[in-house]
Amino acid sequence: MAEAGTRRAALAGLLANRRVAAAMTTGFASGLPFNLPQGTLQSWLSTTSVDLKTIGVFTLVAVPYSVKWLWAPLLDRYAMPFLGRRRGWIVTFQLLLALVIGVLALQHPPGNLSWLFVLSMTIVVLSASQDIVVDAYRTDLLRAEERGIGSTAVQLGWRAATYVSGALALVLSGLIGWRATYLAMAVLMMLTALATVLAPEPERRVVPPRGLKEAVVLPLRELFGRPGVRTLLVLVVLYKLGDAFALSLWSAFLIKGAGFTPLEVGEVAKVLAIVATIAGTLVGGMLFGRLGLYRSLVVFGLLQSVTNLLYAWLAAAGHDFPRMIVAVGFDYFAGGLGAAAFGAFLMALCDLRYSAFQFALLSSFGALGRSWLGPLAGGLVEGGQLNLHLGSLALGTLTLPALGWQNFFLVTTLTGLPAVLLLVIVRDRVRALDADPAARTG
């Protein structure tokens, strides 16, 4: 009993400290602009006479999120003359985001759609830039024992913000109109800057790169020069692969494969997925401090792979609400566990001198395999020829067997296991990452 009470007290202390609180508020600030130039704006445009093809073009504004590592070295090299190396940039981007969101609120679609596209793209560039520095700030800020609960706090803040700027914004638009809704989001974005001003500075002081060459070359040399780092980078690519593979056709499976209606998916499955993910990230953060980085990655990685089997179980039954609730609930709960551990893993891999560039680069590695899974997933379920291309460049054709939904989810389960096996092979290197990263700051 005394030991359990001690653990609860330690957890309460972690949740209450300023560093973890700052992780949550910066997570909220990162998530708030995410929907505004994308899903929420699509909803706004859909209420006007703007045609579907034009709305489709607006999806291109999300491209900067995929290439944000290109300008991350600039944010490692240079600092604003106030609020330290990271917070000065964060506040600057937050105030600029509030300004541009406010300008976007004053537009009148379908008038001047080109200007609306420019404003939307500007929001994404500023949002991606904020993400770069926010990820670096949290990596610099959190102590080794706080990474798990800090990663959870980030997830909670981010998801709460995307709900505010997504679902809640749609509700508000029906009550106060689109212009007032976007102005409210601009005001809320401005308030995140106040939270950043009040947030603490990292305890560790590091010497930043002295020039752009150092900001680009040295982070790459430091990262790729570590013993066994290539194996760890493969682990970054593989860790969420099986989970992402199963979820790449999630809505399509529930509707086409299991026979649920879109309304049932929206009212039950998606709400359950959000609740289960939040619960998973909370529990993952709590368990992380007890298990440590290595055991958390192994246990949570196994769970997020094995729970894919529940979709095969659902596919066998079809339209079965109890099975759907079990499958979606446990799968997204396990995914939340894995997300908490994976976020801590990326932070542990960063050298604090170059955390902006390295975190942005590592998160791009983490998304590398997942970006190719959608077309492959559809091909495996239905079978036949799959044409591979990159833009206008044809890469070849694959002939795939028709697995059906049950066998597809068996394959996604197997896809998640190599990461767990690789973890066992490199366990000593992963355990070493539990040490304080200050040892790698030179």
Q: Does the pTM of the predicted model rise above 0.95? A: no
What pLDDT is attached to residue 138?
A: 85
Return the number of other C-beta atoms located less than 10 Å from residue 394's C-beta.
Answer: 10
What pLDDT is attached to residue 243?
A: 81
Across 259-271, average pLDDT: 74
- Express each pLDDT in 388-413 by its tens digit: 554 445 555 666 667 788 888 898 88
Domains of the chain are 1-203 (1.20.1250.20), 211-442 (1.20.1250.20)
- Express each pLDDT in 233-254 by its tens digit: 888 888 888 887 777 777 778 8
Q: Please say if the pLDDT value at position 356 is more than 60.
A: yes
Q: Please say if the pLDDT value at position 344 is more than 60.
A: yes
